[in-house]
Amino acid sequence: MDEQKKKAKARIDLLRKNISQWNTKYYSLGQSDVSDELYDAYYLELKTLERKYPEFVSPDSPTKKVGAPLVQSSFEKVKHSVPMLSLENAFGNDELDLWFKRLEKNISLGDEDHNNSEKESFPNNSKSSSLEFVAELKIDGVSISLLYENGQFIKAITRGDGLTGEDVTENVRTINSLPQKVEYKGSFEVRGEVLMTFSTFKTLEGLANPRNATAGSLKLLDPKLCAERKLSLFTYQALGLKELRTHWDNLQFLKREGFTVNPLSEICSGIDEVKRFCEKANNDKKDLDYPTDGVVVKVNDLSLQESVGSTSKYPRWAIAYKFAAEEAETIVENITVEVGRLGTLTPVAELKPVLLAGTIVKRASLHNADLIQELDVRIGDYVIVRKAGEIIPEVVSVAKKEKRGEESLPFHFPETCPSCGTKVVKVESEVAIRCPNSQTCPAQIHRRIEHWASKSAMDIKGLGESIIAQLVQKNLINEFADIYLLKAENLLELEGFKDKSVDNLLSSIQESKSMPLDRVIFGLGIKHVGANTAKIIAKHYSSTDELMNVTKTELIGIDGVGDAIAEEIESFFRNEENRMLLERLKSYGLKMESVQENEFSKKPLLGQTFVITGMFEIPRSGIEEMILKMGGKVSSSVSKKTNYLILGEEPGSKLEKAKKFQTKIISLQDLRKMLNEE
């Protein structure tokens, strides 16, 4: 074998080894240590080399297999009735054109096999310039097959190796938008993508990206934990329906039956319209709350799809146009380790600032210790950073390893917590490394306060990360109960705080005292208890007092609460320090009680119109918000329809008008009483 061939063979072996390892990890554990770009680059290189050196082609190559073999796991294996194929990628318009040319050729070949009358049934294959496509977003989630019989959802199977997947029915059942019942009574299968929104992803710790988080969630053994992950679904294909003629009809069928179909799908006439769609989607993707990594282009006519057919891996009638990920190269100036609310240690690369997707990036997540080791990132390294959607940028790979200084040493993950010095622990079944000192670790306390004040918990506006950092640093707060002891003079000490912002923050703290029980339970930050579980618990208990005596057995009896959750809740309320914390909160006037869930109690001002005049101790926008939140309307001028005028100091002409119309005139305090906010 000549030198060049030898080299090629060695490279092929290396590429195959890496790709197979990534595949195994992804398909069996739902985890991925590699960026999509690197994976695609390796795959493409391997394919090119195999084409150039056909003597090295092997049936074991990952290019010849769909997905990876399944390794052992505790989910039941199910064979797919129709294989779940993958999609060929096109990077850029040139590759899209190549695919289109091949498609045209395939269509004309298909024509030769058909007599004229059959040709008639292909409405748009004669003029390929007007060949009709459907362009859809390529959702960056986990593909799923959903089986329905007699109008009922019966099974959900992961893609697995494309031929056999795993039964994840109970986890998929927790997806809110999944129709459990449908009108159509025949047997059929729906294919789609399970995903996690960026907003949900942001509330989790220690996970690489929404796709990984989705894959991991589907593999959770306790569906109740999966429910917490609030997965979503977009469907894109129904199989087993004879009466449909186009892919577009297929999407309409899905919508009619109650499935969620991505609203940004469009019919495109000809490849130029497809390109315009791709360009627009690429520009608009930053505004979406879910991850997408490209556009899937599909031939619309189903009989045409059938006539061009598929290879063993891909359908010939579809292609994935991949967006270029936004990447940049920079230097790692330091590697620091952050501690999360639940004690998870997350390594972070402190970067030489670099412009990426329109923003200056100074920090990027390194996710976990395993990843640092695998990438072998060191301080001083040149790295490629990437930003996908709204997620924090991440380090994808190390560039120019040869440029490393001699003094560069592999990074050693700390053995003690960088915040409190406690020895860290690694839980056997998790990738995460944790600080076990949940009670006094300053970093965990800081994050807990942040969580307590966050929008989905107590919604204390103006109490963001930097304010909390200052308050903690000045020893003004050590636990979230301390928030309720803050005084105007404390806040005026803080950087950038003026009378007005102090007033706003204090009234927001005041308002948070009447937050209902579910928000409090969520805000407490109990492990495994997300917003959903908190709501379920709050429906069964009237106050935190009642929860003090709750038992695990009792909790398990509640629909939607599993073993793990029940255990965490019981031990949280048994813990002496937590009990003291709750007592303190109560003594500061926090209600922490359940609200009756009827339309009126949620929105006591429904159907009432308010006009505001004069000056108040809180900003007008705050009053408006209170009214809107409780279902009322705010109008700028008094009319016959006005129900209440809220009167402040030095009122304007609106007061006269209100008197004329005999509108009820009330103070801000009266409004608060109406809202039970006093």
Binding site for ligand IVH (CB under 6 A): 85-87, 136, 138-139, 143, 193, 236, 296, 315, 318, 320
In this structure, which amino acid lies at residue 66?
V
Contacts of residue 571, defined as CB under 8 A and 6 or more positions apart, other chains included, come to none
Q: Which is nearer to ligand IVH, 264 or 494 (CB)?
A: 264
Asked about 138 being catalytic, the answer comes back as yes
Q: Which is nearer to ligand IVH, 39 or 53 (CB)?
A: 39
Least separation, in Å, of the C-beta of 104 and ligand IVH?
20
CA 500, CA 490: separation in Å to the nearest integer? 14
Least Cα distance to 579 among 509, 510, 518, 524 occurs for 524
In this structure, which amino acid lies at residue 314?
Y
Catalytic residue among 5, 105, 138, 513: 138
Least separation, in Å, of the C-beta of 642 and ligand IVH?
50
β-bridge mates for residue 108, sequence order: none
CA 109, CA 174: separation in Å to the nearest integer? 46
Q: Which is nearer to ligand IVH, 391 or 558 (CB)?
A: 391
Query: What is the phi/psi pair of residue 339, to 5°?
Result: -115, 125
Q: What stretches of 123-220 show up as alpha helix (H) in DSSP?
A: 169-172, 198-202, 210-218
Contacts of residue 55, defined as CB under 8 A and 6 or more positions apart, other chains included, come to none
Least separation, in Å, of the C-beta of 307 and ligand IVH?
16
Least separation, in Å, of the C-beta of 569 and ligand IVH?
36
Least Cα distance to 70 among 33, 23, 13 occurs for 23
β-bridge mates for residue 433, sequence order: 426
Tell me the CA end-to-end span of the chain in Å, nearest whole number.
87
Minimal CB distance to ligand IVH: which residue? Answer: 143
Least separation, in Å, of the C-beta of 195 and ligand IVH?
9
Q: Which is nearer to ligand IVH, 136 or 166 (CB)?
A: 136
Q: Which is nearer to ligand IVH, 99 or 522 (CB)?
A: 99
Q: What count of other Cβ atoms lies within 10 Å of the Cβ of residue 548?
A: 14
Q: Which is nearer to ligand IVH, 290 or 644 (CB)?
A: 290
What would you measure as the largest C-alpha separation in the chain, in angstroms? 102
Sign, Cα dihedral of 141, 146, 151, 153 = negative
Torsion region of 347: left, alpha or beta (phi above 0 gives left; psi -120 to 50 gives alpha): beta
Least separation, in Å, of the C-beta of 11 and ligand IVH?
25
CA 265, CA 278: separation in Å to the nearest integer? 11
Least separation, in Å, of the C-beta of 89 and ligand IVH?
7
CA 638, CA 611: separation in Å to the nearest integer? 6
Task: Give the 3-state secondary structure of residue 565.
Answer: helix
CA 476, CA 469: separation in Å to the nearest integer? 10
Query: Under a CB-based contact definition with an 8 Å cutoff, are residues 232 and 177 in contact?
Result: yes
Least separation, in Å, of the C-beta of 451 and ligand IVH?
32
Least separation, in Å, of the C-beta of 266 and ligand IVH?
12
Q: Which is nearer to ligand IVH, 19 or 538 (CB)?
A: 19
The half-sphere exposure of 578 on its side-chain side, counting CA atoms within 13 A, is 21
In this structure, which amino acid lies at residue 406?
E
CA 678, CA 674: separation in Å to the nearest integer? 9
Least separation, in Å, of the C-beta of 65 and ligand IVH?
14
Which contiguous run of DSSP H or E holds residue 242?
Answer: none
CA 236, CA 192: separation in Å to the nearest integer? 5
CA 278, CA 268: separation in Å to the nearest integer? 11
Q: Which is nearer to ligand IVH, 311 or 553 (CB)?
A: 311
Least separation, in Å, of the C-beta of 55 and ligand IVH?
29
Residue that the structure tokens 């009466």 belong to: 243
* Tokens encoding 270: 């000809």
Query: Under a CB-based contact definition with an 8 Å cutoff, are residues 457 and 522 in contact?
Result: yes
DSSP E strand stretches across 80-159: 89-91, 132-139, 142-149, 152-158
Q: Which is nearer to ligand IVH, 143 or 164 (CB)?
A: 143
Q: Which is nearer to ligand IVH, 302 or 460 (CB)?
A: 302
* Tokens encoding 319: 């292609």
Q: Which is nearer to ligand IVH, 318 or 441 (CB)?
A: 318
Least Cα distance to 122 among 297, 318, 317, 306 occurs for 306
Would you name the residues annotated as active-site residues? 138
